[in-house]
Amino acid sequence: MAKIGVFVCQCGNNIARTVDTAEVAKYCSEQDGVVHVEDYKFMCSAPGQEMFKKAIKEKGLDACIVSACSPKMHEATFRNAAEAAGLNPFKVEIANIREQCSWVHDDKEVGTVKSKDLTKMMIERIKFNKPLERYVMPLTKRALVVGGGIAGIQAALDLAQAGVDVHIVEREPSLGGNMARLSETFPTLDCSQCIMTPRMVEVQNHPLITVHAYAELEQLSGFIGNFRARIRQKAKFVIDDLCTGCGECWEKCPFSTESEFEMGLVKRPIIYIPFPQAVPTVPVIDKTECPKILKDKCGLCADVCGPDCIDFTQQDEIKEIDFGAIIVATGFQLMPNVYREYGGWRPPHMTPKKLTAKMRKALPRSDAGRLVDVINGLEFERLASASGPTGGQIRRPSDGKIPEVVVFIACVGSRDCNKGVEYCSKICCMYTAKHTMLYQHAVHHGKSYVFYMDIRAGGKGYEEFINRAQDEGAQYIRGRVSRLTKKGEKILVKGADTLTGQAVDVEADMVVLATAMVPQGDSEQVAQTLGIGYDKHGFFSEQHPKLMPVESSTGGIFLAGACQSVKDIPETVAQASATAAKVLALFSKDEMMRDPEVAIVDQEKCMNCWDCVTVCPYLAIDRVELKDRNGNFRKWAAYVNPGLCQGCGICNTACRSKSIELMGYTNEQVYAQITAFGGDII
């Protein structure tokens, strides 16, 4: 027979005003199995808790009900107190008679009846509560950072400086990401390379950081604290350890193709490093283009290589490494440039793989595609960059002339779900202002126009930066552009000024589009590999938009930078550091404690319908073979991995043979609670 103690709290006058707590206590003492009742002014106070512990010890209670406020308030308090008194914490339940009774019903008679009923339901329920023990899980103190842009670099450095072993997986031949492409950064106009490359070198030289450049995460298994990643090291055809980065090979390579890093504005050799400051400075051979690999012709690079480090027989290498936590920092791309969709000059890497009908219609309509001088923001960054193809001189791509009139169009593809994406791309106002300044600084007599919808400059020093851009000569026109057409050597921009209500035509030498930031083209695939949630645009979903903005929906996987939402550099860096803090908190203990309120399978009853496997949102349920004592196969059964289970109970409901039970919310407990219902309602 159960020995249950019921503790009714008056909560000062909060409960006692509309509930006759003495009456509730008396009623409870009459229930089966209740051996001890208390009616006290403040159960959660120190003397209240002492009383609670004393009663457990002296009366030898094996379960306790606290009729008080919401379990959200003090469930943990009383469970800890019970643990201190030697009672299993999961044998304590709260009957919520404050938030859901005394505070919402003013009638004392009604309140008392309802409180009795709520407490009785809990008394019946707790008879079926099982004592549960928290799970202790091992923990691998090694972190994986997916993506080597500024977010990944920042997170890796923060972790390594705290003494954590970090691996970075970057699919391009070099770290750097999109930030390495930028010429200067707003709002201070400091050079991106100058602030970024020292950090890249720091990553390369840090003894605790391992960089897997030109590699991809292929598969991820396991759970928080115990992940196993399968990393595919793509064949570089260059032996890392021997290569000195001297540059003989890429200088001598006779073939070339469009440079991805330079946004296709120039060509690069087939054996290449993406940019001169690349880290690691080991070239890779593009196997889709190299004639030696395709047709066994050439091989000049191997001839000129001093250390003899070129190996045309190299194969992809698979590495399996264990990790405890994962930081996803895969970054963004600019919305595939819709202007280039109609033929004409178009770098192959910019061909959008998944171009939706909506994207195709993105604004403004034009017979462009043939308009080579319509470029996007990142291309302009490369033109303006001192290390770019033009050496920092702004020259238009078609004929290399210095443009006298440049039109910048904001919100291309963003803020309009009919012509792209619905969200505001957030950084475009700022980078457009920066572009006008870069242009004005490079071409003093030039004229720049900005067609904008609204100016959104909410950041430290941002509004001042926009004002500065206007002072330096950029002409801001509020309105949209409807059409771009070719007019001789120029581009006719047909727009509107909605402040004066007039049509505006500008004959421009070059047009720069502030194209929307969108997730990487394969972000959905990456999310599926990692087992994390993503939204309709392909941005990875955070656990909670306000209180858990860096956690993904899967425990132990954290999100940094523009893969989660559109962000500028300061925000990205801040988020990356936040993920590092989360990982350090996770790694601060030697073992992990897991909540025991998880599903458990009665494997003998399991009849292998695998409905639970299908419904589990966390892929926490596996099919396992049961063996007899001789080691022979006996039957199949489901197994719930307590490290992955989050305790939602969907499998419990789906189970046909009722062989899965969610601990803490078992069928028995719920039925007991329902059975207790049925007394007086008022």
Report if residue 132 touches another protein, rule: CB under 8 A: no
Print the binding letters for residues 142-181 with another protein: x by CB under 8 A, - otherwise. ----------------------------------------
Among 23, 597, 602, 668, binds another protein (CB under 8 A): 597
* Position among 58, 106, 190, 320 found at the interface with another protein (CB under 8 A): 106
Give every CB contact of residue 7 below 8 A, 6+ residues apart in sequence. Answer: 37, 38, 40, 43, 51, 52, 55, 64, 65, 66, 67, 68
Minimum gap (Å) between residue 594 Cβ and another protein: 15
549 forms beta bridges with none
Phi and psi at residue 474, to the nearest 5°: -70, 135
Within a 10 A sphere around the Cβ of 221, how many other Cβ atoms?
Answer: 12
Half-sphere exposure of 81 (CA within 13 A, CB side): 26
Alpha helices in 407-457 (DSSP H): 428-442
Distant-in-sequence, close-in-space partners of 31: CB < 8 Å, separation ≥ 6: 4, 120, 123
- Residue 426 CB, nearest distance to another protein (Å)? 22
- Candidates 107, 322, 422, 489: give the one binding another protein (CB under 8 A): 107
For residue 100, the SS3 value is: helix
User: Among the candidate windows 104-112, 155-163, 363-371, 496-504, which touches another protein by CB under 8 A?
Assistant: 104-112
Site membership for another protein, residue 96 (CB under 8 A): yes
DSSP alpha helix (H) spans, 391-427: none
Binding mask 531-560 for another protein (x = CB under 8 A): --x-------------------x-------
Contact with another protein (CB under 8 A) among 219, 221, 315, 675 = 675
* Options 252, 571, 665, 668; binder of another protein; rule CB under 8 A: 665
C-beta separation of 535 from 566 below 8 A: no
The residue within the footprint of another protein, chosen from 98, 141, 234, 582 (CB under 8 A), is: 98
**569, 427 in Cβ contact below 8 A?**
no
Please identify which residue in 70, 204, 314, 529 interacts with another protein, judged by CB under 8 A.
Answer: 70
Q: How far is the CB of 250 from another protein (least distance, A)?
A: 47
DSSP 472-527: TTPEEEES-EEEEEEETTEEEEEEEETTTTEEEEEEESEEEEEEPEEE-TTHHHHH
Indicate the residue among 135 and 665 with the shorter CB distance to another protein: 665
| Region of 678 on the Ramachandran plot (φ > 0 left; ψ -120 to 50 alpha; else beta) | left
Q: Which amino acid would we find at residue 236? A: K
Q: Which of 333, 529, 641, 646 binds another protein (CB under 8 A)?
A: 646
Q: In terms of CB distance, is 76 or 104 closer to another protein?
A: 104
Binding test (CB under 8 A) with another protein, winner from 244, 500, 617, 626: 617
User: Which residue in 407, 647, 659, 660 binds another protein (CB under 8 A)?
Assistant: 647
Q: How many residues bind another protein (CB under 8 A)?
A: 45
**CB under 8 A, 24+ apart: contacts of 361-364:** 361/418, 361/419, 362/335, 362/338, 362/412, 362/413, 362/419, 362/420, 363/412, 363/413, 363/416, 363/419, 363/420, 363/480, 363/481, 364/409, 364/480, 364/481, 364/482, 364/483, 364/484
- CB count within 10 Å of CB 402 equals 15
Shortest separation between residue 107's beta carbon and another protein, angstroms: 4
**Contact between 613 and another protein (CB under 8 A)?**
no
CA angle 133, 136, 137 (to 5 degrees): 145
Q: How far apart are CA 495 and CA 245, in angstroms?
A: 50
Cβ–Cβ < 8 Å for 266, 358 = no
Site for another protein contains 46 (CB under 8 A): no
Instruction: Pick one of 49, 425, 577, 652: the residue that binds another protein (CB under 8 A).
Output: 652
Q: Given candidates 42, 103, 610, 639, which one binds another protein under the rule CB under 8 A? A: 103
Q: Which of 676, 682, 680 is nearest to 119 (CA)?
A: 676
Q: Give min distance, CB of 106 to another protein, in A.
A: 5
Closer to another protein by CB, 46 or 681: give it. 681
Tell me the per-residue interface mask from 176 to 215 with another protein, x by CB under 8 A, - otherwise: ----------------------------------------
In the complex with another protein, the residue whose CB is nearer, 77 or 673, is: 673
Please give the residue ranges that form the binding site for another protein (CB under 8 A): 70-72, 96, 98-101, 103-107, 110-111, 114, 117-118, 121, 533, 553, 597, 615, 617-618, 646-650, 652-654, 662, 665, 667, 670-671, 673-675, 677-678, 681-682
